[in-house]
């Protein structure tokens, strides 16, 4: 017979009943923002007209914001508030990146390509670790052999790894990426992409530059403790799973992050598109109701 949950800790139906009045306001708002974002992403991708790989960064980051919001909606509909927090955290990071790339029009191309070079290096690092013929791969192989669970994972064939790494190295050698790649290699330690060309060296510095330092200190640090299993507040406060008390805050921040990202990306890639009629008709009523909740 299947095991029943201890209802003093996990009472799924009760949690959903408690969360229902909030979900009925938050979920239509999140779904509207995600639905509109899906179309906006497609329109922006079709309208991108910059140089090689120039618009890739904000499109990828905007997609990330949309997908995280969609995941938040799914979790909140089941009163799973705490597990939604890492998704909100990811949206915040992506929004900071979008804002920084678009902060100064004259820096747009360089910052966008800096993001791409940073991403490519992260992928290369992974391929080199999985390739047992590289120095990093030999070190990783020793660690892998000591991990009973991970050692059972079937790694990609060596020729596939080397071909993928070769393709990325060829990309970094292209003329439009060479100056950024040279700047990346100038750093002794692997830099954050936004640290290139004397940019903010840390995420905190980036948030402060974008006037979001208070959000970083008050919210991001708390979200990070939860994401890294370093917060015991839920256990101390109630001991319950699926505690819906943070639902309003999570939905509010997720909504504002998606809305801000949508406005920024649309303004860059589809400057003639007017979001106001949609916002007034479909977003503002839900958002106003959400913000009035305790």
Q: What is the dihedral of CA 78, 81, 83, 87, to 10 degrees?
A: 100
Q: Tell me how far the alpha carbon of residue 2 is from its chain's centroid.
A: 37
Quickly list H helices, 78-177. 85-102, 108-130, 135-145, 158-172
Examine the pLDDT at 237 and tell me if it is beyond 60: no
Mean pLDDT value across the chain: 93
Instruction: Give the three-class secondary structure for 182.
Output: helix
More confident residue, 232 or 213: 213
Are the CB atoms for 116 and 54 separated by under 8 Å? no
Confidence of residue 236 (pLDDT cuts 50, 70, 90): low
Unique residue bearing structure tokens 């007017």:
274
More confident residue, 38 or 223: 38
Q: What is the pLDDT of residue 35?
A: 98
Confidence of residue 181 (pLDDT cuts 50, 70, 90): very high
pLDDT in tens, 67-125: 999 999 999 999 999 999 999 999 999 999 999 999 999 999 999 999 999 999 999 99
More confident residue, 171 or 294: 171
DSSP code, position 283: I
Q: What is the pLDDT of residue 285?
A: 96
Q: Tell me how far the alpha carbon of residue 158 is from its chain's centroid.
A: 30
Examine the pLDDT at 232 and tell me if it is beyond 70: no
Q: What percent of the chain has pLDDT over 70?
A: 97
pLDDT in tens, 123-145: 999 999 999 899 998 898 888 88
Examine the pLDDT at 235 and tell me if it is beyond 70: no
Confidence of residue 153 (pLDDT cuts 50, 70, 90): confident
Give me 187's structure tokens. Answer: 């750093």
The span from the CA of 141 to the CA of 132, in Å, is 7
Confidence of residue 49 (pLDDT cuts 50, 70, 90): confident
């Amino acid at each position: 017979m299947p095991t029943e949950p201890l209802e003093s800790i996990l009472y799924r139906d009760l949690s959903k009943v408690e969360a229902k009045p909030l979900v009925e306001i938050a979920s239509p708002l999140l779904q509207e923002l995600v639905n509109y974002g899906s179309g906006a992403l497609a329109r922006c991708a079709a309208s991108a007209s910059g140089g090689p790989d120039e618009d890739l960064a904000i499109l990828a980051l905007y997609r990330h914001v949309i997908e995280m919001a969609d995941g938040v909606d799914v979790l909140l509909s089941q009163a799973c508030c705490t597990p939604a927090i890492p998704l909100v955290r990811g949206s915040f990071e992506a929004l900071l990146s979008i804002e920084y790339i678009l902060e100064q029009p004259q820096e747009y191309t360089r910052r966008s390509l800096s993001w791409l070079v940073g991403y490519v290096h992260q992928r290369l690092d992974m391929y080199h670790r999985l390739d047992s013929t590289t120095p990093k791969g030999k070190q990783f192989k020793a660690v892998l052999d000591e991990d009973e669970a991970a050692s059972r994972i079937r790694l990609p064939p060596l020729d596939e790894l080397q071909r993928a790494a070769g393709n990325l190295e060829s990309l970094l050698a292209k003329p439009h990426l060479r100056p950024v790649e040279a700047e990346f290699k100038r750093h002794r330690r692997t830099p954050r992409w936004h640290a290139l060309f004397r940019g903010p060296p840390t995420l905190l510095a980036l948030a402060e530059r974008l006037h979001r330092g208070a959000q970083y200190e008050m919210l991001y640090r708390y979200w990070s403790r939860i994401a890294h299993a370093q917060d015991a507040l839920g256990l101390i406060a109630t001991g319950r799973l699926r505690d819906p008390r943070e639902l309003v805050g999570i939905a509010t921040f997720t909504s504002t992050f998606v809305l801000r990202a949508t406005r920024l990306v649309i303004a860059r890639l589809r400057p003639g598109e007017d979001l106001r009629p949609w916002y007034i008709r479909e977003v503002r009523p839900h958002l106003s109701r959400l913000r009035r909740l305790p």
